[in-house]
A and B are shown apart, each in its own frame.
Chain A
Amino acid sequence: MNYLTIAWRNMCDRPLASTLTGLSMALGVAAVICVMVIHRIAVEQFEQDPQGYNFIVGGTGGRMQLVLSTVYHLDKPLYPISYDYYRKFTDGEYARYTDVVVPYCLGDTFVAGDFKYRVVGTTPELFDELKYDGDTSYEFSEGRNFKRENFFEGVVGSIVAKQGGLKVGETFNPTHGLAGEGDKHREFKVVGILAPTGTTNDRAIFVNMEGFYLLDGHALSAKPPTSDDTTPSTTPDPGIPSVGYDNAGNEVEPLPESQREVTSLLVRCPSAIDSMTLNTVINKSGSATQAVAPTEVVATLLDNIIGPVQVVLLVLTALIVLVAAIGILVSIYNSMSERAHDIAVMRALGASRMAVQLIVLLEAVLLALLGGVAGWVLGHLMIGIASPFVEARTGVSLDMLAFDASELVVIPALVLLAILAGVLPAFTAYRTDVAKALSGTR
């Protein structure tokens, strides 16, 4: 029978009060854990999604909007850039700085029940050449990448396949516009399903840009205003197949270059120096186009929005924990008068003032820690329960067991808080007048 056992038994002797105070502590800690885990996952998500290329090139508009629309499939795309400008990067004056250039054409949506997914017109290089999450190559859980010469092929992200129920070999019709309320376009065939990447690309559909250009309303009738004023190249784009095929195998003419435009470009450079050089060249060229390193924008986003929100949430949840600690204080303190006799008995058995004080402190620490551990489990459980819903809505999968060392901070913080909460009742125990308490009944 040591002090800890005595504290434990004293705690168990008041089951209702102990359960309630422990529970309030558990709820507070669960809230803190949820905030920490969700913040961590959000940051990881934001940071890993735009990896694999150096910068994004887009037209006139906000830097944040360019990154949101290109990387995260959110927000409206910027003003388009001309196809001739795109060709500067592939076989024009910028080509010597670039390694891979992937064009994005945005503006269509695929609607499946309640869900809407962006349809991105692009080239197969997106999956063949670029890597995500640092250096992981894209893989297909089923099927294959689309082929440049098969104009009406597309691949779908893993979540689109699961939620939208698209299988390899099936066809789908994108609708015009981002609202998902436009007219249905002609159909594309799913030739591949991306293995889950944990990025926002799991929630998008990628179709052959050549087919995308041929959809109603996508061809430019006359030379339109774009963000730049690039002189057309005299040679045709060697990337465009001279002849392509639809899904029935019929020959299809590609859309002439003069009727094309691009929303944004993902640019990968062979070296950091090339990247910096080209970045500066583009941004100082005087045209309204811009090059934006998504990591910079993401850092700004994290620092200016996610960071402060996390701080506010942590402060709020920490307040819940604080209130729970005050609950422990009040509960133990209120019981001190009933315990005076028991404390006096222990003193008569030879317990020192320090000993009875320690026993009361230990009880506070036990309550806080047990509540805290329960809260920690509860927090992860809540994440586990919320996970399918969050994944359905956002595509971000929350791993219930994902554990971060920073969560361990909770333990010493709780012990400290418990000691603070226990000090007052412990001092009461310290000061118990033994002779007086022994003369009273219990």
Chain B
Amino acid sequence: MSDSQKLVELQSVQKAYREPNGDRLPILDIEHFAVEPGDQVVIRGRSGCGKTTLLHAIAGITPVDSGSISIGGVELTRLAEAGRDRFRARNVGYVFQTFNLLPAFTALENVVLGMTFTGRPKDRKRAIELLEAVGLGHRLHHKPSAMSVGEQQRTAVARALVNKPVLLLADEPTANIDPGHQQQVVDMLREVCINEKVAMLMVTHSPEVSDQFDHVVALEEINRVARAA
């Protein structure tokens, strides 16, 4: 079973898509990959090498074909879909590249929405505290359309952390932000993750961003499919 030291651990994970003509299209073939608790890991790799697919698999959004993925000792690959959904709601935060927020809801409501699917009571105070922590104390009641992309991303970070997850997955969270504000968001992400004692697994294309991290993994190196290509 998984090493108790590791927060996230992947063993012999394989994922393939079916092409329209019925052929198998292998995307992931990872022998071993792990994230330590509280660590901040950057994944880079060329476009299409399977970074997003990997994050989806770790989040339990996309089921894998074989192998095991465990988070905090819970083997996700043994859970049924509804179990993975509930686990994700409680333990994994996710920030996408863009359009993280539901347009009908204000910043605060979007964060509270993050607490809706956990099956636990909602803590509005924590939502406000987190929005203040990401520097949006003055934007609580703005709808996404009235916020800058950077503000939207910060709201998404607050939402991803609101349930006190053990892991934050971020898929190119700064790709759509202008370079001037990119650094702000990266700093904020790193800081709140340390404060909240959350491990972070971030995908980025930007060398300026990845250079700041000690732990950088090129997906091509661990993914046999991408290596072969």
Binding site for A on B (CB under 8 A): 52-53, 56, 59, 61-62, 81-82, 85-90, 92, 94, 96, 98-105, 109, 112-118, 122, 159
Query: In the complex where A349-B94, A349-B159, A350-B118 touch, is A435 in contact with B113 (Cβ < 8 A)?
Result: no
| Complex A-B, nearest 7 residue pairs according to Cβ-Cβ distance, in ascending order | A350-B89, A13-B104, A350-B117, A352-B85, A351-B117, A9-B104, A350-B88
Which of B86, B89, B116 makes the CB contact (< 8 A) with A1? B116
Is A299 positioned at the interface, with any CB of B under 8 Å from its CB?
A: no
Q: Which of A1-21 contact B (CB under 8 A)?
A: 1-3, 6, 9-10, 12-13
Complex: A326 Cα to B120 Cα, angstroms: 36
Q: Are B117 and A349 in contact (CB under 8 A)?
A: yes
- A147 lies within 8 A of chain B by Cβ: no
Which stretch from A30-38, A338-346, A370-378 is at the chain B interface? Answer: A338-346
- From B112, which residue of chain A is reached at the shortest CB distance? A1
Q: Is the CB of B98 within 8 A of A6?
A: no
By a CB distance below 8 angstroms, the chain A residues around B102 are 342, 345-346
For A, the interface residue count at a CB cutoff of 8 angstroms equals 27
Are B105 and A9 closer than 8 Å at their CB atoms? yes
Instruction: Assess A442 versus B103: contact at CB under 8 Å? Given A1-B109, A349-B113, A435-B62.
Output: yes
Q: Which A residues are CB-close (under 8 A) to B94? A: 348-349
Identify whether the interface residues of A are mostly helix, strand, loop, or mixed: helix
Are the CB atoms of A347 and B61 closer together than 8 Å?
Answer: yes
CB of A220 within 8 A of chain B?
no
Closest Cβ–Cβ distance, residue A7 to chain B (whole Å): 11
Q: Does A354 contact B (CB under 8 A)?
A: yes
Set of chain B residues within 8 Å of A350, measured between Cβ atoms: 85-90, 92, 117-118
Q: Residue of B at shortest CB range from A359?
A: B116
CB-defined contacts of A352 to chain B, threshold 8 Å: 81-82, 85-86, 117
Closest to B94 in A: A348
**Residue A116 at the chain B interface, CB threshold 8 Å:** no
The complex places the Cα of A10 from the Cα of B113 at a distance, in Å, of 13
Output the nearest chain A residue to B113 by Cβ-Cβ distance. Answer: A1
A348 touches B61 (CB 8 A): yes
Contact residues of A between 322 and 359, Cβ < 8 Å to B: 341-342, 345-355
Cβ-closest chain A residue relative to B96: A438
A438 to B159, CA, bound (A): 17
Q: Which residues of the partner chain A approach B112 to less than 8 Å between Cβ atoms?
A: 1
CB of B113 within 8 A of CB of A6, answer yes
Enumerate chain B residues within 8 angstroms of A355, measured Cβ to Cβ: 117
Give the distance to chain B from A306, nearest Cβ to Cβ, in Å.
Answer: 49
Verify if A434 is at the interface (C-beta below 8 Å from B). Answer: yes
A19 CB, nearest partner CB in chain B, Å:
16
Give the Cβ gap from A140 to chain B, nearest Cβ, in Å.
64
Establish whether residues B99 and A341, one from each chain, have CB atoms under 8 Å apart when the complex forms.
yes
